[in-house]
């Protein structure tokens, strides 16, 4: 695994992508970032548990998580200062500024220390962020290290889109690439191999109709092992 830190340019790129998009982000993304509320429901956070959303964007999810789990401690990390401006505004509008701590930084470097904390997190959530994080393996390993022994990782992201047909999938991929989004099919396929395709309700993997999106939950040990194994599509 690369020991290089992500280039500073990635933060600048994210700012470029989102400096205008952030104003329409929540309104537009609700029509195509499916599965986020399912992930939030399945978090089942207990009072006092600590969650970090990695690539928290506008804090759309953190606002919902804060409302659903009023006694959880919440943290948000993002590489884009522009998105964090929107996140801070959303939290203030929702009266939640005191409940959620936001930090500018890279997923690949996640640790409680980034938030000035020593205690590990209980959950790390990646909602449509692994498809934008350049070194997703390193981000999963960092998240694993930032979690308590019983901690878990929750992912929702684009699937392999095969149910949309060749033309549909290729159009959507082309459009997503304009925003520097790359569906991580290698994660979905690797997890499918590990779970033997079991995507029943409550299972570690859930794949949406048309294989548009997937949800994956795993322990810190599983996430670290998965990220360090060669899961490349062959
Ligand atoms: C598609 S948005 C998802 C936002 C939010 N999680 C949601 O579900 O609406 C992806 C976010 O990941 C952030 N991001 C991309 N690469 C990152 C990295 N290496 N470290 C931290 N955040 C990153 C982007 O700035 C952006 O805010």
**Three-state DSSP state, 64:** helix
Q: How far is the CA of 132 from the centre of ligand 1 (A)?
A: 7
CATH for 8-228?
3.40.50.150
Q: Which residue lies with its CA nearest to atom 10 of ligand 1?
A: 129
Q: Which residue lies with its CA nearest to atom 25 of ligand 1?
A: 80
Q: How far is the CA of 54 from the centre of ligand 1 (A)?
A: 7
| pTM of the predicted model over 0.85 | yes
Q: How far is the CA of 133 from the centre of ligand 1 (A)?
A: 7
The C-alpha atoms of residue 52 and residue 54 are separated, in whole angstroms, by: 6
Tokens of 170: 């290729």
**Three-state DSSP state, 151:** strand
Give the model's pLDDT for residue 229: 85
Summarize pLDDT for 41-92 with one digit per residue, the tens.
999 999 999 999 999 999 999 999 999 999 999 999 999 999 999 999 999 9
Q: Which residue lies with its CA nearest to atom 24 of ligand 1?
A: 55
Domain boundaries, the chain: 8-228
CB 137 within 8 A of CB 227: yes
Give the model's confidence band at 1: pLDDT under 50 very low, under 70 low, under 90 confident, else very high.
very low
């Amino acid at each position: 695994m690369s020991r290089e830190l992500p280039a500073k340019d990635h933060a600048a790129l994210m700012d470029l992508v989102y400096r205008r998009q952030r104003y329409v982000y929540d309104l537009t993304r609700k029509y195509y970032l499916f599965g986020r509320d399912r992930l939030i429901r399945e978090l089942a956070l207990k009072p006092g548990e600590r969650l970090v959303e990695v690539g928290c964007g506008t804090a759309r999810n953190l606002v919902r998580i804060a409302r659903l789990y009023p006694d959880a401690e919440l943290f948000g990390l993002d590489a884009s200062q522009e998105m964090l401006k929107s996140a801070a505004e959303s939290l203030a509008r929702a009266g939640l500024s005191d409940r959620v701590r936001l930090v500018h930084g890279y997923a690949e470097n996640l640790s409680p220390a980034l938030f000035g904390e020593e205690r590990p997190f209980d959950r790390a959530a990646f909602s449509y962020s692994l498809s934008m994080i350049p070194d997703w393996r390193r981000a999963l390993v960092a998240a694993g290290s930032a979690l308590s022994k019983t901690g878990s990782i929750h992912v929702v992201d684009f699937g392999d889109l095969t149910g949309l047909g060749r033309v549909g999938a290729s159009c959507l991929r082309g459009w997503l690439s304009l925003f520097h989004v790359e569906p991580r099919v290698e994660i979905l396929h690797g997890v499918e191999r590990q779970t033997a395709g079991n995507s029943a309700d409550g299972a570690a993997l859930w794949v949406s109709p048309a294989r548009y999106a997937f949800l994956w939950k795993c322990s810190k040990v599983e996430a670290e092992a998965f990220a360090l194994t060669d899961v490349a599509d062959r």
